[in-house]
């Protein structure tokens, strides 16, 4: 079992930045691929970014490429999502997820076994 807790969400103006954190506990964090997903009101949960277990195999949704960066710190059992140039359409609940090792970190929800409770990000226009 892996327990995931997100933090760092909040209210920010258009063009601003936020850094989300996801702290993991339980089984060995460094053996998992990690992903970020988001869910806006009335929409399906959608892929944002992912990183494989050794910090490579980066994968980003087209809508966030060049604006968001996913990193991980295995010494702290934490994965981060640095978000810049935020837009109102980035408003959503952001979830982190952990899944089994694959060279390219997956973009599909079924590729992840463990999920956090989410953190709200609101971007005002």
Which residues neighbour 37 within 8 Å (Cβ) at sequence distance 6 or greater?
45, 46, 47, 48, 94, 95, 96, 97, 109
pLDDT attached to residue 61: 97
Give the SS3 label for residue 86.
coil
Neighbours of 124 (CB within 10 A): 11
Cβ neighbours for 76, distance < 8 A, ≥ 6 positions apart: 23
Tokens of residue 47, six digits: 């892929």
113 touches 98 (CB < 8 A): yes
pLDDT at 13: 98
Question: What local confidence, expressed as pLDDT, does residue 75 receive?
Answer: 92
- For the chain, 125 residues long, give each residue's pLDDT as a single digit of tens: 899 999 999 999 999 999 999 999 976 888 999 999 999 999 999 999 999 999 888 899 999 999 999 999 999 999 999 999 999 999 999 999 999 988 889 999 999 999 999 999 999 99
């Amino acid at each position: 079992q892996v327990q995931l807790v997100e933090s760092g969400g909040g209210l920010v103006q258009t063009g601003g930045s936020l850094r989300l954190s996801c702290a993991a506990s339980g089984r060995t964090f460094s053996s998992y691929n990690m992903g970020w997903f988001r869910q806006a009101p009335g929409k399906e949960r959608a892929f944002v970014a992912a990183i494989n277990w050794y910090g490579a195999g980066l994968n980003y949704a087209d809508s966030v490429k060049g604006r968001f960066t996913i990193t991980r710190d295995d010494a702290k059992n934490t994965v981060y999502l640095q978000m810049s140039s935020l837009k109102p359409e980035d408003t959503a609940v952001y979830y982190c997820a952990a899944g089994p090792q694959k060279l390219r970190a997956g973009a599909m929800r079924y590729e992840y076994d463990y999920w956090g409770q989410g953190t709200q990000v609101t971007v005002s226009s």
